[in-house]
Amino acid sequence: MKLTQQQKDQFDREGYLFFPGLFSAEEATALNEAVPELYSRREAYNVREKGKEAVRTNFAAHLYSRPFARLARHPRMVEPVQDLLGEQLYMHQFKINGKMAFEGDVWQWHQDYGTWLNDDLMPTERAMNVAIFLDDVNEFNGPLMFIPGSHKKGVVEASHDLTTTSYPLWTVDNELIGKLVERAGGKHGGIVSPHGPAGSMILFHSCLVHASSANLTPWNRVSVYLSLCAVSNHIRRFKRPEYIAHRDFAPIDCLPDDCLLKDYAVELPWQDGMPASALQTSLESIEELTKTHGLRVKPAMTAL
């Protein structure tokens, strides 16, 4: 799936592209039907809403779930990002965000690259998010909100919010959000919120400021978020566990376009359980680990 020059220009200007209904209802259903079993697991990779049983986000399903392993190699998702970044990609992060009916909490205003820089020492913003709706998304069930053009500001000042929700974020304060919204058009386009059927896809820049409100409706809003990073831009620190920030920097090899509907073979390295190494962390950079502990860093795979 190649982007037109018009789409590339729009992405450069606004920081995101929206593709309503890019995946068929059958493809979205095949993924959505796999979610309840994943959410039922009592594992570290399932982060639940604060004080609730509802799953806020599930991490790394592509390493132990066959449907999501195939999605992680889908050309409709990988090729446009590769086109924009001009380089092969690896999977930096893979999430299935719940935003469940009546229980899905807010995601505060933030930039994803702010977290990747502060926590993971990702060198530059040569990484991007892909959001794929597994449920219909409307104006009521906690849709994503973007500030168009905010990626042009680069990395903005943020503080580490450890208390608002069950998942810590480097968040942007209200005063700066007000300025960014006004700069983008205020009440006339300063905030946008793409809505569409299950199977819709959004590409958005890692510096684009975004958020979502709580879901007070009776409709789930489950979405997959895949963070794709240029291979040369891989993270330099393992401060976060591997199920959150991946350490396999091997380029993604795409499957055929019908991979969500046919049973193509995929590797599931965590199918029998998450390895103990996935929980190991370090505050040292890869360079420091190499120098101090003699760690050998391989181009395709790095591990403690």
Residue 109 lies in a domain: yes
pLDDT at 219: 96
pLDDT at 51: 84
Residue 16 has pLDDT above 80, yes or no: yes
pLDDT at 44: 92
Residue 134 lies in a domain: yes
292 band by pLDDT with thresholds 50, 70 and 90: low
Residue 4 has pLDDT above 70, yes or no: yes
Between 21 and 49, residue with greater pLDDT: 21
Domain enclosing residue 50, as ranges: 5-293
Q: What is the mean pLDDT of residues 183-196?
A: 94
By CB atoms closer than 10 A (0-12, 13-18, 19+), residue 300 is: exposed
Residue 48 lies in a domain: yes
Q: What is the mean pLDDT of residues 276-292?
A: 78
Quick one: tokens of 221?
């809003």
Residue 298 lies in a domain: no
Q: What is the CATH number of the domain that holds 250?
A: 2.60.120.620
Give how many domains the chain has, as a whole number: 1
Instruction: Give pLDDT tens digits for 129-163.
Output: 999 999 999 999 999 999 999 999 888 887 776 76
Q: Out of 22-31, 172-181, 263-272, which region has the weakest mean confidence (pLDDT)?
A: 172-181
Instruction: Give pLDDT tens digits for 25-39.
Output: 999 999 999 999 999
pLDDT at 284: 82
pTM to 2 decimals? 0.89
Please enumerate in sequence order all residues whose Cβ is within 8 A of that of 178, keeping only pairs 6 or more positions apart, or say none: none
Residue 302 lies in a domain: no
pLDDT at 303: 30
